[in-house]
């Protein structure tokens, strides 16, 4: 490709990215580290700006920045087999500095020309993983509220998506999106002639050429992959699709006016069309699908239903009873026991470690003890907040009790019940954290483009449960039909439950922390009241 100069790089751009560097001490292939770059006198930023502009004049990327140092970490044990190694690439930090400046420009171009899809939540500012989980689960809940209406979700696994990204197909995708030619040429140059070497101790392997894929550890690689699969949701527009980076979920729902058996046949036909569209996309961009890891989950409320047959390139897609999607375990009956139990097991492991650590931290140093709890235990509870309003009352009580157990460990209140623990510690209760969490998430769900599917599910819920029954007749139901009325009674939605929770908890928020009446009653009962 001919030389195409980039727009001149400004000193402010270089300084901004320099300030963002985390001071990591790991050495890269050039023998430098982010820690060393952070220690540079600020006067050197002007010199580095000149260096970057030399590259910008040619629209190129320096060759030494394309060599990655790769170390392999063990996934299990001291002597792991080859498939149990996790490779970590360390790119030259100076090259990453330049790359981040270009990444900011590409993101700005995406923002200016609205290069984004509502179905994608990964690698984008202002979009959240929780949105995808909620959009999927709310859609499934409303679908199976009708007994005759199953839903099929196909979880697609792209085989080593980032490592198998074919460069010509990526460049074509960017060209089709009308990326400016100077940026397009720079991306092409950035991808070409990349190499890596394996480092173990003091020994280094020979350099190995990278013919496909994007460099691991690069901030630009994730954005390029998102743009690479930009058109995929459009090919599957007749279905509910959810994407987070390379994790794709395709949901096919049954019709309300059909019998369950007819819905299964209809879903099978739609699944066949979806797989053909996916096969076409996979071949066009040469992005293989790992059929062995691609799974189908039939969500229903009946007993022993027939499963629709699904094939990708004449290879059967297996059905599973549950699937972990973005860290959340979804089952055929939308039960949450497995997900909650797995998370509580992790919390208990944290508690066991806390008990050992806190033995050496006396109670007078309570702030340090609290910070350990908030840093290592509380994030696990936040994972449970996303689908909180899907849980049963007993499941909520179990989670709340587990939280209070952590407070007992922090404050040394062994043997006291949950209410007394909250009273003595004067800490926020779990509903307090839930209230704060959802107050923020609710704002995001109202405004974010990737929450469109969630917003549509809320509209669907309001129609189903509303007093206007004119939609019955459009689907062939009588106005006073028992079936639609039962659907309205069975339908549930997170926002409806959230409104009830907010109305109740608003007056009780941080009661144990700010109100002294409970602690006064405790003192009176146990210390002042005559025996």
pLDDT level of residue 524 (50, 70, 90 thresholds): low
pLDDT at 456 over 60: yes
| Spatial distance between the Cα atoms of 346 and 502, rounded to a whole number of angstroms | 29
For the stretch 375-410, pLDDT in tens is: 999 999 999 999 999 999 999 999 999 999 999 999
Q: Is the dihedral of CA 324, 329, 331, 334 positive or negative?
A: negative
Is the CB of residue 174 less than 8 Å from the CB of residue 166? no
pLDDT at 175 over 70: yes
For tokens 């006073």, the residue is 480
**What is the side-by-side strand order in the sheet with 240-244?**
240-244, 247-253, 151-157, 295-299, 318-319
pLDDT at 266 over 90: yes
H/E/C letters for each residue in 494-512? Answer: HHHHHHHHHHHHCCCCCHH
For the stretch 93-120, pLDDT in tens is: 888 888 999 999 998 998 888 888 877 8
What are the boundaries of each domain within the chain? 11-120+167-211, 129-161+228-331, 337-428+510-528
pLDDT at 291 over 60: yes
For the stretch 24-56, pLDDT in tens is: 888 888 888 888 888 888 888 999 999 888 888
Q: Which residues pair with 253 in a beta bridge?
A: 151
| Spatial distance between the Cα atoms of 150 and 253, rounded to a whole number of angstroms | 6
H/E/C letters for each residue in 244-277? Answer: ECCEEEEEEECCCCCCHHHHHHHHHHHHHHHHHH
Q: Which CATH architecture group holds 129-161+228-331?
A: 2-Layer Sandwich (3.30)
Higher pLDDT, 154 or 159: 154
CA end-to-end distance (rounded Å), the chain: 91
Within 13 Å and on the Cβ side, how many CA atoms surround 301? 13
């Amino acid at each position: 490709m001919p030389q195409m100069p980039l727009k001149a790089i400004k000193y402010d751009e270089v300084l901004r990215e320099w300030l963002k560097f985390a001071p990591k001490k790991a050495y890269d292939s050039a023998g430098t580290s982010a820690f060393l770059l952070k220690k540079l006198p600020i006067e050197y930023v002007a010199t580095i700006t000149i260096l970057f502009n030399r590259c910008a004049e040619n629209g190129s990327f320096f060759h030494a920045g394309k060599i990655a140092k790769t170390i392999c970490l063990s996934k299990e044990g001291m002597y792991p087999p080859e498939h149990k190694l996790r490779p970590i690439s360390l790119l030259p930090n100076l090259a990453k500095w330049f790359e981040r400046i270009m990444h900011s420009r590409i993101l700005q171009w995406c923002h200016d020309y609205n290069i984004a899809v509502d179905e994608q939540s990964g690698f984008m500012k202002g979009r959240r993983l929780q949105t995808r989980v909620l959009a999927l689960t709310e859609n499934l809940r409303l679908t199976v509220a009708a007994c005759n209406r199953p839903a099929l979700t196909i979880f697609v696994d792209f085989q080593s998506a980032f490592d198998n990204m074919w460069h010509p197909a990526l460049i074509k995708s960017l060209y089709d999106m009308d990326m400016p030619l100077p940026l397009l040429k720079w991306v092409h140059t950035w991808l070409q002639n990349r190499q890596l070497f394996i480092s173990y101790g003091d020994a280094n392997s020979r350099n190995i050429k990278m013919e496909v894929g994007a460099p691991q550890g690069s901030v630009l690689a994730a954005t390029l992959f998102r743009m690479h699969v930009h058109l995929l949701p459009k090919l599957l527009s007749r279905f509910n699709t959810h994407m987070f980076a390379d994790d794709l979920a395709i949901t096919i729902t049954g019709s309300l006016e059909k019998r369950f058996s007819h819905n299964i046949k209809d879903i099978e036909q739609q699944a066949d069309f979806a797989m053909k569209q996916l096969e076409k996309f996979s071949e066009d961009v040469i992005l293989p699908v790992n059929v062995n890891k691609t799974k189908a989950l039939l969500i229903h409320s009946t007993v022993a239903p027939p499963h629709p047959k699904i094939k990708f390139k004449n290879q059967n897609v297996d059905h599973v009873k549950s699937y972990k999607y973005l860290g959340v375990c979804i089952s055929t009956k939308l039960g949450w026991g497995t997900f909650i139990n797995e998370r509580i097991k992790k919390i208990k492991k944290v508690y066991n470690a806390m008990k050992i650590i806190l033995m050496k931290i006396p109670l007078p140093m309570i702030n340090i003890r609290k910070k350990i709890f908030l840093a290592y235990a509380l994030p696990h509870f936040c994972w449970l907040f996303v689908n909180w309003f899907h849980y049963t009352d007993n499941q909520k009580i179990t989670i709340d009790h587990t939280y209070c157990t952590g407070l007992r460990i922090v404050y040394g209140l062994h043997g006291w019940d949950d209410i007394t623990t909250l009273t003595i510690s004067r800490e926020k209760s779990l509903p307090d954290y839930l209230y704060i969490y959802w107050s923020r998430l609710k704002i995001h769900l109202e405004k974010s483009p990737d929450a469109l599917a969630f917003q549509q599910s809320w509209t669907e819920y309001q129609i189903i449960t509303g007093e206007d029954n004119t939609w019955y007749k459009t689907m062939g139901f009588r106005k006073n039909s028992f079936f639609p009325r039962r659907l309205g009674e069975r339908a549930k939605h997170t926002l409806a439950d959230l409104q009830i929770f907010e109305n109740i908890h608003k007056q009780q928020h941080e009661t144990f922390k700010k109100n002294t009446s409970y602690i006064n009653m405790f003192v009176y009962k146990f210390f002042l009241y005559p025996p």
